[in-house]
Structures are given as structure tokens and as C-alpha cells.
Chain A
Amino acid sequence: MAPSLSSFKTLRLDGVSRDFGTVNALRDLTLTIERGEFVALLGPSGCGKSTALNCIAGLLPTSRGAIFLDDHRLDILPAEERGFGMVFQNYALFPHMTVRDNIGFGLKMRGVPKAEAAQRVEKAIETVRLGTQAHKLPGQLSGGQQQRVAIARAIVVEPPLVLMDEPLSNLDAKLRLEMRQEIRRIHAGLGSITIYVTHDQDEALSLADRIVVLRDGMIRQVGTPEDLYARPAHLDVAEFMGFRNRIPAKLKTRSGDAVAIDVNGVLLQGSAREELRGDDVIVAIRPDDLFAGEAHEGGIPALVEATEYRGRDFFGSARAADGTELFFRSSRRHTPGEKVALIADPARLLVYGAA
């Protein structure tokens, strides 16, 4: 039997790989996760994040590598012997069982005595706030309620590891925000490891203690949400983290991370994020950090194409002299065709080598 929740300290993934035919869906995933950590696997579709989760859960055999919970090797066990809890994207609730029976299924399979099982099921129902729905069938519940059942079902067995596969992707925006908090609260109460797969950077940033960005089956960056948000290690990570503006530029001078670059003849200050080879670089910046000033103030000159109001600020798109499309923030509405100069904080203007 897998180690119980009370005794384990770390989950260790050691070079976990998975091939589909000649395609390497997951390459050499190595990661050590401490008890109590909430880790998000983040990446675009096809990046291998779901493959990783299924390998850890035991639903997909690994091609190479090993998974350890402390010193127990788990990757050689079938899913039913690993003792992990999993929350599926489409919930995968048993349609013929009531909420209570769904939640109690794992306990029944583990041979927990009926009285104790009933007690634990009631506690789990309370944790996910489903008290009045316990006698219903999944088909009678809303999406959010079904999601709560799926979570309760996974955590009631007190697994050392809870795996969540895009659990919020089928919910509407408001419910998604609510459930985020709920998931965070449940995680804190459980004290186990949660591995959470998502393609939504907001979700990963708000939920995780640590984010693992995957691309083409490989780890691109591991870091705290703050790290990833402010200092993406690679251009593709930056793109994925919302650095929507990518501007080709020439490197002028460099001292440490501080660099001077030439964008269409305008000299700007920025921060280098990786080893730069050659003079051709790409400047990445979030629309949030690119401000529109008056044309004479200095900055990247551009012609406004459109602006839209988003509450506190206006966001707009403009075109630079070389045709690059730029997205910016502004304190006022601009008329299409208006000339603006786009300026940025050098710390927020990240410079990567051109591929």
C-alpha cells in the first residue's frame, strides 16, 4: 500500500518521460515537490502537461524515469495502488451513484468500515459545501456543484497527492474565481501536495506556490508566480505569460543585465533575460507596461489603430514605423491615426536573443 498522508515528506519525479510512437510527449521531467506545496503545470495545449499528470496518476505508463514518494517507487504500481486523488477535467462523476456514493467510493474500495466512511463522507461534503445536495445524482447538479463533488471524492481518501486536470475549464468566469479560492482553501486544509494542470496563466499565478512551465514536453522554467510574472526566462515563456508585445531591435550596449537597445532608431533601456548572442534581439513587454505618451515625449513612435475602455484604463493597438503591431495602455481614449510615443519602465522591458 502507498504511504499514508501522515508520513511522507516529498514527491520526487526523476526523469519521467513518455513517448507516443516516435513523438516525445514528455521529456525528462525532473522535479522535487515538498509536502504542502501547490504546483501548477502550465503550458499551451500539446505541451505535455496532461501527459505528465496521467503518468503521475498511473493512467499512462511512463516510457522512462521514476516517481518516488519518499523512498517508495510508485511508477511501477498501477493507478489503483498509488493512492492519489485525481480531479478530472470533465469531472468523471459516476452518473448512477448519488453524490454521497460518489464521494464514498474511494473509501469503499479501501475497505474503510462503514460507520467511519459515512462520517468522513459527511465531513468531505461539508468541506465542499454540498450539504443539501448529498442525495442527488450528478446529472441533477450544476457544473460548479459537480466540480465540488469531484474534488470531495478525490480528497476524502486523504491522498498524499491530489492531481487536478484543468478542473475549472468547464465553468463560467465568475464560478471559476470562486472555485479558485475554494481549491486553495481545501489544499491548505488537507496539507498534501496538489499538482494542478492548466493552460490559464491567471489560474496558475493565483493558485500555485510554484509554477512549472512546459513546452514541447520539456520544462522551460520553474519558479514562483512572481518570478514567472516578472522575469520569464525565455521568450516563449514570456509570450505565454502575457508579454504580448514582441519588437525586433538591435543591441547597443550592455552592462550586466542592463542593456541599451535600438528600436526603429529610438534608444531604449531594458533588462536582458538570457545570454544574448549577436546584435539582433527581441524586446518583450506587456501591454500593461507600455504607456502611450504624447508624440514629443520620446519613446517608440506609433500610429494608433484602435482603443477600448477596460474600466480603470484604456487599452489600444498601434502600428510602429516598421509595421510591428503594438499593444499599449493609456489614460485616455485615442482617435485612430493619432501619433503616440510608447514608453516603458526599463525593468519591465525584457530583452531576449532573436531566435
Chain B
Amino acid sequence: MSSIDYHSNPGLKARLAARGLDSVTLLVIPAIALLIGLFVYPFAYGLWLSFNPKDGSLLGNYIRFFSDPFLYDTIGTTLKLAVPVTILNLVFAVPVAFRVRLMKNQRLLTTILVLPITLGTVLVAEGMLNYLGPQGWANRIMMALGILSSPVKLTNNYWGVMLSLVITGFPFTFLLTLSYISGIDPALEQAAATLGAKAAARFRYIFLPLLIPGLAITFCLSFVQAYSVFPSAVLLGAPAGATRVNDIYAETGQFEIGTGDRVMRVDRIWQDGWTDCAVNGFNFSNPSYKLAFKLRQAPSAPERIIGPVSLNDADGYTGVRFRSRSLAMRVTPESDKQWAMGKLRMRMKAGGMR
């Protein structure tokens, strides 16, 4: 009779398999490698870099970030767009999802509502410009019908960006909301009804508490989507103005100024409105140097010189306010009138004179 061994442990393979690790598990390795290479490593590296600024201090970057009004103004402007858009999307999506949940041709309607996702932001933006722009047919029809006397400005400003974000963000918010609402057992509503709860009470006491976690997730995801709004803002907004958002900042950091009265054309950024222009980080060999702007009201208008202004602020930050389509900039030493050479960073600030 062969003896049966009840006491020795199962082999390593068997023990790993019991914990859900077997040869099939190896299949996830390429995906994990990709994630680490393309996401985890760059993110960690960036994080590490952020704690190693040029000035050598550990938190230098963060101190500069949080003490720079331009940066948090940019974030503030973005929030002013993203928060209302997210809330608006949710406010639209919940009732629509509640209705769609009960429909028989759910798939058709869902397809129609989700279509804007497939178009991409650029296409939606172009479509909106054609439809809602000053010469778009929405305005033309309203004017032809005598409802409006002059076009309503719905693009190239806050409302343009807002509207485009609602259009592109709604399907996403709607789909998420619909899936959360469909996940609630319809019998719960029926039970509440047989217990005497009217529609409002059923929503308040049954649906809402069950939906809150889902709506919170939907809010976060929709918010993140709305927060990264660059294409909408650039194409439909007033990039230098009220809807300047994070992405534009990156673009404005690169202008160079040369000798003489070199004119920088930045038509794509300038709009009709007043704009603040600020300069900083401009290190002159002589601290008494001043900065002057040479600009035009319109392409054919005569040049005007604003300044010179002192650069004696502690952080070398200064600014002027102007209305222009094209701009020249020069740095003037106190004594002579030579245009200086140097690199400078320009920033556009929202609002301006009213």
C-alpha cells in the first residue's frame, strides 16, 4: 500500500496559482511595462524635477507658482469656465438620463446624443463659428426675422467657450449618468411608489442618495474634461482675454525682442479689447534701464510709444495697458534712446480697462 503524504506543502506553482498567479498572469507584463514607461516614469521624473529648481531650493518652483498672480489668475479663469460648465452638464444630463432610461428606442437617442464626442473639439468649434458667429446663420436668421437688430456675440468670448464645452462635454456626462441611473433597480422606485412616495419624494429619498456616489465621479471626470479646454478656448474664445487658459500661457512665454524697432505681430492673440501686457524676468545689465512699448491701434494707424516705464520692481515685473493689434517693444536705457536686446517673457492679462 502506498503511503499518502498529507503533510508536505504544495509546490510553489500551486501556491502561486492559489493566489491567482499563473502563466496567464504573464500576459499583463507588456501592458504594465507600457504604463510604467509612458506614464509612471515621466510623471515621477517630472515630480522629481519640480523639486529641483535652478535656484537650488527644494520648494522654489512651488513658491514661485503660488506667489505669481499670473499663474493663479490663469487657473482662476479656467475654473470660472470649468466649474459652471461641469455643473451645467450635470444639470442637463440627469433629467435627460431619467427620461431616456424609460424609453424603448434608447439606443437611437443615445447614439444621437453621443455623436458630438466623435466629432472632436475642433470640428465642433468650427461648426459653432459657422452657426453662432457674428455672420453665422443663427444671427442672420434672428436679424432677418427682426428679433435682433445687431448680431449677438456668442463666439470668441466666454459664452462661446462655455457653449462649446457644454456641447462636447454633455454626451460624456450624459452617458456616465445614464449608466449610473440604469444601475438602480427599477423595482426600488415601484416599491417607493406603492409606499405612497410621489415622484419628487422618490427622487429625493430613493434616487438621489443612491446616485450621489455616481454623480460625484461623473462630476470629477466631467470637470477634468472641461478643465483641459485649450482648443475650445483658442478657437472660440478671446485667447488673450477673458478665456485665456493654461495652454495659452505656454505660448506666450516665447517671444523674443531684437534690436531696433522690430515689430512682433501677434494678431492671433490680440483681440479688439483692451489688454494688459506685462513683462518680467528681464535682467538688464544696468538696473536703471527702462522699458517702452511701441504699438499701433490698427495696421494703418500711426505708431504710438508707451513708456518708458521703470523696471525697478524687486522682481523685475512691470506692465502697461494698451489697445492694439500689433506691438513693438523696446528696452530703453535711461540715457540713450537705443533699442535694447534681450529676451523677455510677455504675458497677457485678462480684463483691462473698461
Interface residues of A (CB under 8 A from B): 57-59, 78-86, 88, 90, 92-96, 105-106, 109-110, 153-154, 157, 163
Contact = CB atoms under 8 A, between A and B. Distances in A.
Highest count of chain A CB atoms <10 Å: which of B190, B191, B194, B209: B194
B198 to A, nearest CB: 5
Interface string B173-214: 000000000000101101111111110010001100110000
A88 B191 CA distance: 8
Contacts of A81: 196
Interface residues of B, number: 17
A80 B191 contact: no
A83 B210 contact: no
A110 B201 CA distance: 11
Interface of B is mostly: helix
Given A94-B206, A95-B210, A105-B205, A59 B188 contact: no
Interface of B: 185, 187-188, 190-198, 201, 205-206, 209-210
A105 B197 contact: yes
Contact of A78 (B185, B193, B195, B210): B193
5 contacts: A86-B190, A93-B191, A96-B209, A105-B195, A157-B195
Given A96-B209, A96-B210, A109 B187 contact: no
B210 A84 contact: no
A94 B188 contact: yes
A92 B194 CA distance: 11
Contact of A92 (B191, B197, B210): B191
A213 to B, nearest CB: 25
B210 A106 contact: no
Nearest to B202: A80
Contacts of B198: 80
Contact of B194 (A80, A90, A95, A110): A80
A109 B191 CA distance: 12
Contact of B197 (A59, A80, A88): A80
A280 B337 CA distance: 124
Contact of A59 (B190, B196, B209, B210): B190
A109 B197 contact: yes
Contacts of A110: 196
A95 B190 CA distance: 14
Contacts of B192: 94, 105, 109
